[in-house]
Each structure stands twice: as C-alpha cells, then as structure tokens.
C-alpha cells in the first residue's frame, strides 16, 4: 500500500499492512500471528467450510516460478472462502509482454482485488510494487535474493511447534547463504528472540554478505561461520538445509563447483545429529538432501513444514484483511 513508509512496523496491527520484510515484525507480532494459526489448521485439517474471506479476491502475481508459495497462497485463500486471480509468468501471459510497467500492472490489478501477493526475480521490486499500490496491501512472495518473509514466518512456526519456544536455540543453516532469500528472512526472525546461536555452513563463495553478518550479529544473534561438516555442533535443535540458487549465478562453472558441496545424508545425521532435532528445507530440494533422509522422522521438510506454510498464510491473509481470528475457548 502506498504509505509514507511501505515497510512500516506491524506493531500489533496487521490490518491493511504490506508484508515485505521480517524487519516489520516484533516477537509479539509473531506471537499474534501464531495464535491465529491453530484456528486455521482446524479449518484446513477438518475441511471446514469457512467464510472468513468470502467476497475477497487475492491476486497472485508471480514473475518467477513457484510451487509452494503460489500453491499454498492459492489454497489458503480458497480454504477461507475467498477467490484468486492467478497470474503466473506475467511476462508471457499479461500485458507485461507488451511493455507494461510493474507499477501500471499493480494499479490495474488493485482495481480488481483486495490484496496482491507478488514474487519477483529482482530484490526491491516487491517494495516498488507496494509503493505503487494506492489502496490494498501487497505481500512479498519472494524478491530475488532479498527476502521471503512468509516463508520465514512458517519456518519459525515449524520450529516453535516442535520446541515451544524461539529462544535459546542452536541452529545449523547450510547451503547458499549469499543468495538464499529464505535464509535472510529466517535470520531476521531469529534475531528477534533471545540467545539464539546459528552455525552457518557454506562454501566460502556463498557466505552470508558481510553487511548481513554484522547486522544480525549486532542484533544479538550469535553467528558462527564454518566451512566443514566436521565443525557441525552435535546439539543443534534445527538443521536448515538450502539449495544453491542456480538462477542467481552468472558463472555456471562456479555453480557446478559449489552446488553439491554440502549434502545432507543419513551418515551425516548419524555422525553429528541428535534424537530431538528437526531437519528443515524451504524447498525445492535438488540434490543437497539425499532422498533416503526423507523417511527420517526428524525430516519435516516434506511434511509439517509444508502444511504450516498454508496455515500461516491463511492466518496472515485473515489478519491483514482485518478479519477476527481469535480462537473460541
Ligand atoms: N520455498 C519456496 O518458496 O518454494 P517455491 O519457490 O516453490 O514457492
């Protein structure tokens, strides 16, 4: 929405707000969102008809491919009785192909709907879209190497569901920390809570940017960079594996060199894991997690992590569209 500051803080009030970055959230805002998730889960798991978003239309404008973000937002709207305008690949199927600007496209679609979810390959373009929208909220469904706030919100929910806290946790985050937008948003989220330690495992070429490293460290997140699996701590609560982001590379030789540097295997879990941990991945997974890890009961990436994406997005849509999401006692 075209506010003076499109990345304004949530501050307990979701209604009408753009969701562009985890920077907008406080730990309290995250708790408000989480408290709405239970009701959404009940609606979805029991296929309960809901009229919460009846009469509402959400545009899903995806300039980049997506399975989960597109699919779960689409399902979330429909689970709550709303409808979608689905525009995948607008460069091909909309007037973007004729040269229409992002700003004009946004102003057109905001005339038809109540909120827009956008994915864009360029960092900052979703904010530009939010600035262009006069009347309705815009949700960032992933902007290039920037952020993926709704992914981080359900990643945090998945961790919270397991450990009942988001404090005093030890995590291992592995893979492409430079280009992975899910990692950037997740680190922002974790830095809102006290005494978390994150081990960062990546090839040196894909380390977290120095800006991000110092920003998160200054926020109180303890970050420990490692380059060998031998340095993985055995007491981690979460292993969060990520894909090397091929689409962000200009040098394909470098991509080939680093893409399978760290592969999550049953042996690695045996050597450095523990009974109580969970194994996460934002997906899509290519080869960085061996398929035989999928049946490990600690692997949540193709199970609860995915489902939580829909529940959390249901809750978020309801909140920003001003619907009551209080649980009945
Ligand atoms: N995790 C995620 O954003 O997946 P998609 O790219 O399939 O939406």
Which structural domain range is residue 261 located in? 149-306
Q: Is 120 a catalytic residue?
A: no
Q: Are residues 222 and 132 in the same domain?
A: no
Determine which helix (DSSP H) or strand (DSSP E) holds 280, and give its type and residue range: strand 278-280
Q: Are residues 154 and 270 in the same domain?
A: yes
Q: Are residues 71 and 135 in the same domain?
A: yes
Q: Is 181 a catalytic residue?
A: no
Token pair, residue 263, equals 């592969």
Q: What are phi and psi of 106, to 5 degrees?
A: -65, -45
Q: Are residues 88 and 157 in the same domain?
A: no
Token pair, residue 92, equals 């091909």
Q: Is 162 a catalytic residue?
A: no
Is 255 contained in some domain?
Answer: yes
Which one from 39, 56, 68, 188 is the annotated catalytic residue? 68
pTM: 0.96
Q: Are residues 124 and 206 in the same domain?
A: no
Q: Are residues 62 and 183 in the same domain?
A: no
Ligand 1 center–CA 328 separation, angstroms? 33
Token pair, residue 76, equals 């979330």
Is 133 contained in some domain?
Answer: yes
Q: Are residues 69 and 98 in the same domain?
A: yes
Diameter of the chain measured on Cα atoms: 58
Residue nearest to atom 5 of ligand 1 (CA): 66
Q: Are residues 167 and 121 in the same domain?
A: no
Answer yes or no: are the C-beta atoms of 232 and 264 closer than 8 Å: no
Q: Are residues 98 and 238 in the same domain?
A: no
Q: Are residues 130 and 161 in the same domain?
A: no
Is 116 contained in some domain?
Answer: yes
Q: Which long-range contacts (CB under 8 A, 24 or more apart) does 296-304 make?
A: 296/266, 296/269, 298/269, 298/273, 300/158, 300/162, 301/241, 304/158, 304/161
Domain count, the chain: 2
Q: Are residues 121 and 212 in the same domain?
A: no
Digit-by-digit pLDDT tens for the chain (329 residues) are 654 444 789 999 999 999 999 999 999 999 999 999 999 999 999 999 999 999 999 999 999 999 999 999 999 999 999 999 999 999 999 999 999 999 999 999 999 999 999 999 999 999 999 999 999 999 999 999 999 999 999 999 999 999 999 999 999 999 999 999 999 999 999 999 999 999 999 999 999 999 999 999 999 999 999 999 999 999 999 999 999 999 999 999 999 999 999 999 999 999 999 999 999 999 999 999 999 999 999 999 999 999 999 999 999 999 999 998 876 55
DSSP state at residue 264: B
Is 216 contained in some domain?
Answer: yes
Q: Are residues 172 and 292 in the same domain?
A: yes
CATH code of the domain covering residue 116: 3.40.50.1370
**Pocket lined around ligand 1, Cβ cut-off 6 Å:** 66-69, 142, 148, 151, 282-284
Is 10 contained in some domain?
Answer: no
**CA atoms within a 13 Å half-sphere pointing along the CA-CB vector of 93:** 10
């Amino acid at each position: 929405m075209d506010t003076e500051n499109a990345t304004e803080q949530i501050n307990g009030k979701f209604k009408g707000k753009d969701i562009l970055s985890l920077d907008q959230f406080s730990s309290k805002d995250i708790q408000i969102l989480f408290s709405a998730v239970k009701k959404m889960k009940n609606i979805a798991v029991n296929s309960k008809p809901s009229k919460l978003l009846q009469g509402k239309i959400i545009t899903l404008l995806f300039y980049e491919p997506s399975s989960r973000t597109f699919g779960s937002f689409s399902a979330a709207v429909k689970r709550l009785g709303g409808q979608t305008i689905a525009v995948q690949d607008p460069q091909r199927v909309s007037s973007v192909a004729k040269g229409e600007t992002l700003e004009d496209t946004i102003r057109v679609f905001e005339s038809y709907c109540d909120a827009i979810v956008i994915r864009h390959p360029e960092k900052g373009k979703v904010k530009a879209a939010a600035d262009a929208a006069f009347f309705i909220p815009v949700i960032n469904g992933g902007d290039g190497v920037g952020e993926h706030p709704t992914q981080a919100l359900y990643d945090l929910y998945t961790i919270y569901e397991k450990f009942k806290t988001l404090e005093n946790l030890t995590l291992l985050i592995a893979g492409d920390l430079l280009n992975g937008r899910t990692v950037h948003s997740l680190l922002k989220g974790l830095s809102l809570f006290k005494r978390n330690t994150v081990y960062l495992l990546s090839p040196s070429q894909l380390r977290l940017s120095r800006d991000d490293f110092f920003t998160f460290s200054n926020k109180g997140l303890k970050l420990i960079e490692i380059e060998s699996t031998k340095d993985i701590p055995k007491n981690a609560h979460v292993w969060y594996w990520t894909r090397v982001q091929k689409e962000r590379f200009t040098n394909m030789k470098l991509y080939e060199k680093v893409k399978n540097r760290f592969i999550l295997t049953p042996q690695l879990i045996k050597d450095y894991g523990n009974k109580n941990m969970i194994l996460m991945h934002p997906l899509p997974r290519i080869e960085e997690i061996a398929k035989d890890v999928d049946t490990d009961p600690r692997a949540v990436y193709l199970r609860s992590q995915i489902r939580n994406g829909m529940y959390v997005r249901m809750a978020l849509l309801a909140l920003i569209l001003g619907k009551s999401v209080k649980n009945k006692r």
